[in-house]
């Protein structure tokens, strides 16, 4: 688990660093909501990975339910974050929406790679 937390921290740092390196995204990257979004995805990914790891020891249906539940939770959270930002009419909406999507993809890739490692038993 500590290894996964370390990887999650690296992905979070990469999301922050890349956001600051892209000139068209720098205004959004300086917004505290951006940091909160990345932290939320990092924490959620760690919690959901714990759920999947526990369900792996049970039946196959429990594992499949956990993986599908993880996907649903992250997708719904993404919808809530983006909708709230757009309804609040905060600045740089396009950059924020695409940034949130990129963060979603980054943490989903991290989760999938680790879930495959769990399935293989490494």
Tokens of 31: 């917004």
Tokens of 39: 């932290």
DSSP state of 1: -
Residue-wise pLDDT tens digits, 91-105: 999 999 999 999 999
Contact 19, 25 (CB under 8 A): yes
Contact 41, 76 (CB under 8 A): no
Residue-wise pLDDT tens digits, 51-86: 988 888 878 888 888 889 998 999 999 999 999 999
Q: Is the dihedral of CA 75, 21, 89, 43 positive or negative?
A: positive
DSSP secondary structure, 54-85, as one string: HHHTS-HHHHHHHHHHHHHHHHHHHHHHHHHH
What pTM does this model have? 0.90
């Amino acid at each position: 688990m500590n290894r996964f937390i370390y990887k999650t921290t690296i992905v979070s740092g990469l999301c922050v660093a890349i956001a600051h390196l892209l000139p068209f995204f720098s205004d959004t990257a300086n917004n505290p909501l951006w940091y909160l979004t990345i932290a939320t995805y990092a924490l959620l990914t760690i919690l959901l990975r714990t759920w999947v790891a526990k369900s792996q020891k049970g039946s196959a249906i429990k594992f499949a339910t956990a993986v599908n539940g993880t996907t649903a939770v992250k997708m719904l959270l993404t919808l809530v974050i983006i909708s709230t930002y757009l309804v609040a009419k905060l600045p740089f909406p396009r950059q924020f929406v695409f940034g949130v999507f990129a963060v979603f993809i980054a943490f989903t890739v991290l989760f999938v790679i680790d879930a495959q490692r769990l399935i293989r038993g490494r």
